[in-house]
Amino acid sequence: IIMLFIATTLAPIHTSMAIAGGFVLPEGVAMISTEDMGTHLLAFIIWLGAHILPH
């Protein structure tokens, strides 16, 4: 369950990277996610820190 939560939380980052790389989202697709990203705990901790710490 934690892996799915992390992957879903990081979906906006995956979507932004895909669009920046020229990928066109198919009709009806709002976000891109991957279960593999849920295993990258360090990336999630960095993302979490960026959203918790004041800018």
d(CA 31, CA 48): 19
DSSP string, 1-55: -HHHHHHHHTHHHHHHHHHHTTPPPPTT------GGGGG-HHHHHHHHHHHHS--
Q: How many domains does the chain have?
A: 1
Give the pLDDT of residue 35.
Answer: 73
Give the pLDDT of residue 25.
Answer: 94
Give the pLDDT of residue 15.
Answer: 93
Domain around 33? 2-52
User: What digits encode the pLDDT tens for the residues 1-55?
Assistant: 788 888 888 889 889 999 999 999 999 999 988 777 667 778 778 888 888 877 6
Give the pLDDT of residue 38.
Answer: 66
Give the pLDDT of residue 22.
Answer: 96
Contacts of 9 (CB under 8 A, 6+ apart): 44, 47
